[in-house]
Structure 1
Amino acid sequence: MTTAQKHLGTDPRTLIKADLRAVLVSNMRDKFPDLTEEKADRGVGQMLAFVAASAHSDKPLSPSPLVDDFWHAFLLHTRAYQDFCEEMFGAFVHHQPGFLDREEHGGGKELRARTVDAVTLAGYELDHEFWPELDLASCTQCHANCHDSPKHA
């Protein structure tokens, strides 16, 4: 069993009612049959924390691919998503995929770190299992004896 690492904070799953959360968990388990109910429930929470942090950020944030899958599941329930955004933030939080200028916003790892910082600063629990890219090095294929380098003993 994997233990999720969390920073103490508010459980973001409390941002929506249990019945809506159960629907989103079910939708994700239908799409990804190997996803446990417990992990799907945690994933809904990480998505909600991301959306909340995005609503209050003056800079673009970026979900991990897995968190983005959970966001898509919520977006498919357009009325519930719109109501959530209006009630929680007073405005709709748009999903705007695209590439950001690296010079202006930093690379992928920097953008993801800013996102995780924003989630934490917003006061939500952070579950590292849903943000695996943070463990990746921001280097090239230099093979300088990194843990995944062919030179690594």
Structure 2
Amino acid sequence: MTALATEQVTGRQLVNAELFNRLADFCAEEYGMERSVAERVMDEGLAFLDVMGRTGESLSPSKVVDPAWHTFMLHSTEYTEWCLSRYGRYIHHAPNSRYRDKAAMVDVVGKIRAAGYAVDESLWGTTADCNEPACCGDGPCC
């Protein structure tokens, strides 16, 4: 019996390579991240946005992933066109950090994973290690 491999998609596949690189460069510079970390953050942020766009649900990103959304929104022409062409509407950012506890992040990660995306749990505060803010910052797990 052969198991079928399910190919997971990544957030970076949702935009062209040139735009992804511009976003990752901006995110790294603006938020003081190593370029490799900024790439991971942008990848997770794009997957997160796609889940919200497709489901219409209002979700909160982790504190670590939130800069991806800010970065994309600051590229307003590209962000607006992306939202409108994919979902027929603009995805507004209405910050509400009180929903960043570990349980909320586990739920968000589950929705992203259920949509077929690979998830970097270290950016969501859902790994066994304690990660701010979902775990040590304002969550009950530490």
TM-score (norm 2): 0.77
Please tell me whether residue 46 in structure 1 is matched to residue 48 in structure 2.
Answer: no
1:108-147 mapped onto 2 (5 Å cutoff): 108-133=101-126, 135=128, 136=135, 139=140
Q: C-alpha distance in 2, partners of 1:85/1:98?
A: 21
| CA shift digits 1:87-107 (9 cap, x unpaired) | 22222111111367xxxxx87
- Give distance in 2, aligned partners of 1:128 and 1:139: 18
Instruction: Compare 63-72 and 110-119 and name the one that shifted more.
Output: 110-119
Q: Distance in 1 between matches of 2:22 and 2:115?
A: 25
Q: Is the 8 A contact 2:48 2:61 kept in 1?
A: yes
Whose radius of gyration is greater, 1 or 2? 1
Matched, 1:66 2:64: yes
Partner residue, 1:83: 81
Cα pair distance change 1:59/1:80, threshold 3 Å: closer
Q: Relative contact order (C-alpha < 8 Å, sep 6+): which is higher? A: 1
How high is the TM-score relative to the length of structure 1? 0.72
> How far apart in 2 are the matches of 1:36 and 1:47?
16
Partner of 2:132: none
Task: Structure 2: state its 5+ residue gaps.
Answer: 1-6, 129-134
Give the 3 Å change call, closer, same or farther, for CA 107–131 of structure 1 in structure 2. closer
- Hey, what's the Cα distance between the residues in 2 that align with 1:122 and 1:80? 23
